[in-house]
Amino acid sequence: MSGPLALLDAASLYFRAYYALPDSMTAPDGTPVNAVRGFADSIARILTDRRPSRLVACLDADWRPAFRVAALPSYKTHRVADPKANIEEVPDTLTPQIPIILDLLDAMGLATAEAEGYEADDVIGALAARERTDPVEVITGDRDLFQVVRTEPTPVSVVYVGGGWAKVQTLGPAEVAARYGLPVDNAGPAYADMAALRGDPSDGLPGVAGIGEKTAAKLITRFGSLEGLVEAAALADSPVPLRWRTALADDHRYVAAAGLVVRVAVDAPVKLDGDDRVPAAPADPDRVRDLQQRWNLSTSVDRLLAALPPAN
């Protein structure tokens, strides 16, 4: 039986690895490799525990896309290190590890994907939306991706590692609906609309004043979508309570932009760098061993190699 398509939120995984492991893990030249080793261990665990037949590490081609900033200038503003160059603030000791991670993925023969002008979330959303063959598992520590869950035409679930691998949770539409009080038949899109109303300070999304998560979930459940809520609020005999009509009117500019900013762009022009099938052997074994030795990746590479599926 074919395994699922695993879509990795690569930045989410290597950031978590970076903060979970000490930067005393270094290469012979002193370069920290804690994120590299943790990321390799994560992939090994995914291959072992989830047994995907296909895997794609999804990357940010643009961590703060222009179309989102144009809609909502506050989007991720607090995370900008260089406003002129639109560069994300990343720890100095993490930055040099990212090329090593990409080199290791390439040598292993594990696919990566990105879309010019879009974030990794958009890449994941687009690949999940167009999948018609295998079930999809999105591996991430970011709850924003709960919006991609579905049952048809192929199931899409989120393997959420926000609490660490010891507390991993797998959520499909039923689990997302139960967790947030949303309709199960529309759990993914409803989550995105709830998140837009609620806001998210970590992404510079203010939300609608006075509307918290529970109220947002109730409003989206009752009116079907963010657009449905706005339309209902504009009616002369509106069924939306006055308090929330006033809040929506006061924050109308944010409400108009929120959907575009929060929802993943399922039409993102995704490009894969190669075959997404999980190989039985590394694409370049000598290069893998060279990377292992050069960067002191030790048992992390051994575990990654051992996790590859047996040849048919």
What is the Cα–Cα distance from 102 to 111, expressed in whole angstroms? Answer: 10
Calculate the dihedral angle through the C-alpha atoms of 266, 267, 268, 271, rounding to the nearest 10 degrees.
100
Mean confidence (pLDDT) of the chain: 95
What pLDDT is recorded for position 84? 61
Residues 222-231: pLDDT tens digits?
Answer: 999 999 999 9
Structure tokens at 114: 């990105």
Query: Using alpha carbons only, what angle is made at residue 260 by residues 257 and 265, rounded to the nearest 5 degrees?
Result: 170
The pLDDT, as a whole number, for residue 83 is 65
For position 1, what pLDDT does the model report?
53
Give 210's pLDDT tier (boundaries 50, 70, 90). Answer: very high
Whether the CA torsion 137, 125, 270, 87 is positive or negative: it is: negative
CA separation, residue 92 to residues 16, 34, 68, 80, 88 (Å): 15, 13, 26, 14, 11
Residue 3 confidence (pLDDT) above 60: yes
- pLDDT single digits (tens) 56-97: 999 999 999 999 999 999 999 878 866 666 667 788 899 999
What was the pLDDT predicted at 283? Answer: 97
Residue ranges of domains in the chain, CATH in brackets: 5-173+265-307 (3.40.50.1010)
Q: What is the pLDDT of residues 116-173, one digit of tens each?
A: 999 999 999 999 999 999 999 999 999 999 999 999 999 999 999 999 888 999 999 9
pLDDT at 202 (0 to 100): 87
pLDDT per residue as tens digits for the range 177-201: 999 999 999 999 999 999 999 999 9
Residues of the chain above pLDDT 70, percent: 97
pLDDT of residue 88: 74
* pTM summary value: 0.95
- Residue 300's SS3 state is helix
Q: Please give the average per-residue pLDDT across 234-242, as a whole number.
A: 95
Cis status of the peptide bond prior to 153, with omega within 30 of 0 = yes
User: Which of the two residues, 90 and 18, has the higher pLDDT score?
Assistant: 18
Q: What is the pLDDT of residue 80?
A: 82
